[in-house]
Amino acid sequence: MGALGAILIAILNNKLNFQTLAETVKQSAAITSMVFIILIGASVFSLVFRGLGGEELIEQIFNSIPGGLFGSMVLVMALIFLLGFILDFIEISFVIVPIVGPVLMAMGADPIWLGIMIAINLQTSFLTPPFGFALFYLRGVAPENIKTISLYKGVIPFIGIQLGLLVLLAIFPSIVSFLPNYL
């Protein structure tokens, strides 16, 4: 979609030429190939992990955690939150979720609720200082007179709201499934 948008902007500005088109195609292919390499690596890792009995090990660990599904969800959410500091959402989505998702769903987690919890958790971890990816993006577009510490302080209310939402959804999971069930 980004490549198509770049081509349309170039057409509208009368700047589309072969060199621009070739550069757009080249950059799109490079980004797409990086994502596919991550996807292939994650798929191979998941297959090897399952083939070596890793899924059964995860199931045993989760079943031994006090609190059952709730305790396991707290562990998974904490793990995903911490991994969100250093890994992009693509790696977490393609490596961690296929490992823990089936086990949590076998324990009784609703797939929609699980997906929403993971998505909100990832979004929160990307905002959290000092390693949040979103903060680095924001630092790149913020004026130079705005200090990094000001950005860190500015996201704290949003992090609080996100964490509050996670707690609310953990206590009342039916909030997530209300609209899909209604439709």
For residue 160, what pLDDT is reported? 93
Where do the domains of the chain lie? 1-52, 54-182
| Phi, psi dihedral angles at 151 (to 5 degrees) | -65, -45
Per-residue pLDDT for 121 more than 90? Answer: yes
Nearest to 58 by CA among 104, 90, 120: 104
Find the helix packing angle between 97-106 and 18-51, rounded to 10°: 50
For residue 137, what pLDDT is reported? 79
Structure tokens given for 76: 């998974």
Per-residue pLDDT for 91 more than 90? Answer: no
For residue 31, what pLDDT is reported? 83
CA dihedral 29, 31, 33, 37 (to 10 degrees): 180
Q: What is the band of 77 on the pLDDT scale with cuts at 50, 70, 90?
A: very high
For residue 75, what pLDDT is reported? 94
Per-residue pLDDT for 136 more than 90? Answer: no
For residue 8, what pLDDT is reported? 83
- Average pLDDT for 157-162: 92
Tokens 């621009």 label which residue?
A: 20
For residue 167, what pLDDT is reported? 94
Q: How far apart are CA 104 and CA 5, in angstroms?
A: 39
For residue 139, what pLDDT is reported? 80
Per-residue pLDDT for 24 more than 80? Answer: no
Q: Does the N-terminal peptide bond of residue 102 adopt cis geometry, omega within 30 degrees of 0?
A: no
Q: How far apart are CA 111 and CA 118, in angstroms?
A: 11
Structure tokens given for 28: 């799109």
Per-residue pLDDT for 131 more than 80? Answer: no
Q: What is the band of 55 on the pLDDT scale with cuts at 50, 70, 90?
A: confident
